[in-house]
Amino acid sequence: QVQLVESGGGSVQTGGSLRLSCTASGFPMDSHVVGWFRQAPGQERDGIAFINSRPHDIHYTDVVQGRFTISSYNNKNPAYLQMNRLKPEDTAVYYCSTGPVASLIPKFYAIWGTGTQVTVSS
């Protein structure tokens, strides 16, 4: 019933910006957490940010703190990940997910989109 689609990825130069969207439908009432993850080739999928709507809480990993901004979905907008001052090490496939637990650990999330590629060149 729940479906997620990531979009907004692309290729940018160092210092550029992208806004990723996570379009969702059929969210259960208890799926009040939206998480963003990324995975580089040959590496594990790592959580970089989540937003908890009940209660309201936001968390970022140190590597994106101050550069990325997460927002949850509402009746008008999808969930967003605004990415500013991008660096080559941000290059990865980005995924959004939802779940009932505020965590950056992928195993707590069961619903995933297919990902969107972000490439940052120097």
Q: How confident is the model at residue 110 (pLDDT cuts 50, 70, 90)?
A: confident
User: Exposed (0-12), middle (13-18) or buried (19+): which is 49, by Cβ within 10 Å?
Assistant: buried
Q: What is the 8-class DSSP label of residue 14? A: T
Please report, to the nearest 10 degrees, the dihedral formed by the alpha carbons of residues 102, 105, 109, 112 taken in order.
120
Between residues 4 and 115, the one the model is more confident about: 115
Q: Tens digit of pLDDT for each residue in 10-55?
A: 999 999 999 999 987 766 555 689 999 999 999 999 999 999 987 8
Sheet strand arrangement including 68-71: 3-7, 18-25, 79-83, 68-71
Which amino acid makes up residue 53?
A: S
